[in-house]
Amino acid sequence: NAGVTQTPKFQVLKTGQSMTLQCAQDMNHNSMYWYRQDPGMGLRLIYYSASEGTTDKGEVPNGYNVSRLNKREFSLRLESAAPSQTSVYFCASRKTWDLNTEAFFGQGTRLTVV
């Protein structure tokens, strides 16, 4: 049981380049999330998908887009990377939208934009 799998684990981009971070979960969870983690700050929500077929903005959505490809997969796209997007990105999933249920996190993608 892999849980939540993110690819890639590390990435270096040049300013202006685009890339897609992939996330897949095998727990049949309905809700999926993308967070970023920066030094000295708590995790911040970028986008979320409460259920298959829906996506919504979180706290810091600017510069990102998402796709809920199916129930298992939720991707995050940077169309034109900027140095301010240097961060560690975490995908998470939860069985339901209810925040009393536990969230399971992937191992993260460390992205550096130069």
Partner 1 sequence: KNQVEQSPQSLIILEGKNCTLQCNYTVSPFSNLRWYKQDTGRGPVSLTIMTFSENTKSNGRYTATLDADTKQSSLHITASQLSDSASYICVVSLITGTASKLTFGTGTRLQVTL
Q: Is 2 in the site for partner 1 (CB under 8 A)?
A: no
Minimal distance in Å, beta carbon 25 to partner 1?
Answer: 12
Tokens of 90: 């975490």
1 binds partner 1 (CB under 8 A): no
What distance, in Å, lies between the first and last C-alpha atoms of the chain?
A: 36
Look at strands 87-94 and 109-113 and give their pairing: antiparallel
Give the binding range for partner 1 (CB under 8 A) out of 24-32, 64-72, 77-85, 92-100: 92-100
d(CA 64, CA 83): 14
Q: Which of 1, 14, 40, 62 binds partner 1 (CB under 8 A)?
A: 40
Q: Which is nearer to partner 1, 69 or 105 (CB)?
A: 105
- Residue 99 in contact with partner 1, rule: CB under 8 A: yes
Binding partner 1 (rule: CB under 8 A), the pick from 15, 20, 107, 112 is: 107
Q: Is 24 in the site for partner 1 (CB under 8 A)?
A: no
Q: Considering the complex, what minimum distance in angstroms separates the CB of residue 104 from partner 1? A: 8
Report how far residue 22's alpha carbon sits from residue 17's, in angstroms, rounded to the nearest whole number.
17
Gap between the Cα atoms of 97 and 51, Å rounded: 8
Q: What are the two backbone dihedrals, phi and then psi, of residue 83, each rounded to the nearest 5 degrees?
A: -55, -30
Count of positions on this chain that bind partner 1 (CB under 8 A): 19
